[in-house]
Amino acid sequence: MRRTAFGELGGFRAGFGKAGARSGTEETDLVYQSKPAVAGGRLALRPAVAVSHRVPQARSRLTYFISRCYDEGVAKASIVDFVGGRDGLASERVYTPRSFREDLCGG
């Protein structure tokens, strides 16, 4: 997202996202906030844009992954409170059945 658009939206929602040791999905919430502002526009993926992101060794452990999954679930529930279940769970309605079929049926 361009910095100017980020500023026009008011940035991340106050009191939402990373809180202490718990992480949230503030990026997802920001996309929901931007929908009315880009109604005539679009959000575009730019694969050629390079981002350097260092991942600490501790984040490669199973315990971190489980904790992160829990945090994502809690944050997703908060997003549903803001935008409603229809929009807030739209992606889950797509990938959950597909993932379930792939896991159980081998594709």
35, 56, 67, 73, 79 from 17: Cα distances, Å: 19, 20, 15, 12, 10
Q: Are 27 and 33 in contact (CB under 8 A)?
A: no
Q: Provide the domain limits for residue 12.
A: 3-105
Q: Is the pLDDT of residue 5 over 70?
A: yes
Q: Which amino acid is at 107?
A: G
The three-class DSSP label of residue 19 is strand
pLDDT averaged over every residue in the chain = 76
Q: Is the pLDDT of residue 107 over 60?
A: no
Q: What total number of domains does the chain contain?
A: 1
Question: Given this model, what pLDDT does residue 57 score?
Answer: 92
pLDDT tens track for 15-50 = 666 666 666 677 777 777 776 666 666 667 788 888
Question: Given this model, what pLDDT does residue 50 score?
Answer: 84
Rg of the chain (C-alpha set): 16
